[in-house]
Structure 1
Amino acid sequence: MNSDKDIPLLSSIYKSKHTGRASASTRKKGSITVEAAMAVPIYFFATLALVLLLELLSVQTAVRSGLQEAGKKLAVQAVEVPAVIPSNLERDVVNSIGAERLERSIVEGGSSGIDCNQSYLSPFTGIGEIQASYQVRIPVPGFSIAPISYKETMRIKAWTGYEAGGFGEEDDQIVYVTDTGVVYHKNPHCTHLDLSIHAAASSELNSLRNESGGKYHACEKCVHGSSMGGSVYITDQGDRYHNSLTCSGLKRTVYTARISEVPGKRACSKCGGK
């Protein structure tokens, strides 16, 4: 039989077995729990990013395909009406894609989120550019991300064909025209096409003259009000001065066409007789 002296000793041994550090098995279980807690959100966001990427690629492909179909329809209609009506173009794009598909997509505004206002078609050459702009939203839980803008662009030409008897004739030669010009050029390096741009001090504008002897006036596109920099940009043939070298008034988009395709244009006074 145990004496009373043994009781404190047993109590001490019992306490020593149930106090101290956690076992290796307990530490391992805790580590796995922490790693699992970190892996779940990472896996969730990676999966979400992949799904959003696939949806974005699907939307881009659908809009590009819809714009192509709408462009074909516009090219046929341009024979009678050589102009782009943005609302009609937007409707054709949406119909080609499918309004329900757009409503279920990440396109901001759904079927009403397609904008074709930047599209144009030259009534002289029948050449134009159609553009579908839209925004996509990024639905990430817990984050507020601004919509991202995208656009699809393609060039088209009206299916106008050639005038009867004009195709293949020797005098139906290739000429050069611009979107806004009213003349055609036989020389692709005509000075009216290949602009010679010069920088000039704004204080000298009153004394400067172009090749025709005319004065230079403010460009309606890049000169706003009375604002002028220290230097402006002019051309020998133009009658406008510009604040910016990137102004569209200093650029010429030149197209090739046959004379029979530009019946409303006259020959350039400088190169048309050559």
Structure 2
Amino acid sequence: MSLGKKLYNTNSFAPNWRSKLPVAPVTINKEHEYRKDRCIHGQPPVYKRFINSLKVQEMPFYASSKKASYTIEAAVILPLFISMMVFGLFMFRLLQVQSGVQQAIDYASRTMAITLGNMSNYGESDKDEDISGQEPTIGGEVSEAVLLASTIALSGVEIAKNEVPIGFVDGGALGFDFFDTTVEGNYIDIRVNYQMTFPVGLLGHYSFDVSQRARNRKWVGYDKSENTTDARYVYVTEKGEVYHTNYNCTYLNPSVHRLPKGELSEARNKSGGVYNVCERCKGKDAHGFIFVTDYGTAYHKDINCTEIKHNIKKVLYEDVKDSMRACSKCSAGEKN
């Protein structure tokens, strides 16, 4: 070459040059080979085994080992819970219906009593008359039927006006039975019967029979003789079987005497009878004394015994005349 430089063919010595390059030593990671070997032979890596150890836990004692246990429990408990809630709401509806119906029949009874007066009793007297022996007339039967129909119709109108939820009544508006309503004599007596059924049958078939009543005396005015000769009011006791026309009757307000217990064997009532132990207060301590009445047949160990101290009530005579008999003492005094 003119330049004095020796030219070399690079292709001729390139392979030899690469083969003479130094080679770095290979370092084998023992831990990597160990983990790799473990994965190859079917063992999970350490991180997977750690995760699996977190997932595998013992089931608590209150949990069921069977699958879908919570679903089964919910399928049983949830319908029962809903049924109980519906039952509670249904009771409020029952009270709502009763309240609305009672207001309606009260208003209808008062209105008819004031408006019609003593129409069914021919308007001649405010005293109760026994017309069972009289021959019924066409006019009387028609007027009574019209009066009864008007009373029932007014009750139905008031029920609708009060917005009573009649959808809960069996049969709806036709479920109200006024068959026992009467307008005879001096009273407008409205009686209504109906039935309400629990809408959910899961707890069983529950039906409630409801009976309500409104009774008002016809507006016939005031009569002074009513408090003297008519004896419209009488007196009864809570557990008595007779009614009394005189509040001061000795059976109602007996004269009580206290005696030493030692004098019991010689004590006699005004009828000459002996005193036997009272079954109601025989278990109490007499403290050395007993209590007797003039016409009684028993001695008492307690002065507050209900056989001595009566709960006296003043009631209408016509309310008890058919169910109770007259006191022999009061009746005898009146007849004499």
Q: TM-score, normalised by structure 1?
A: 0.50
Structure of larger gyration radius: 2
The structure in which a higher percent of residues are helix is 2
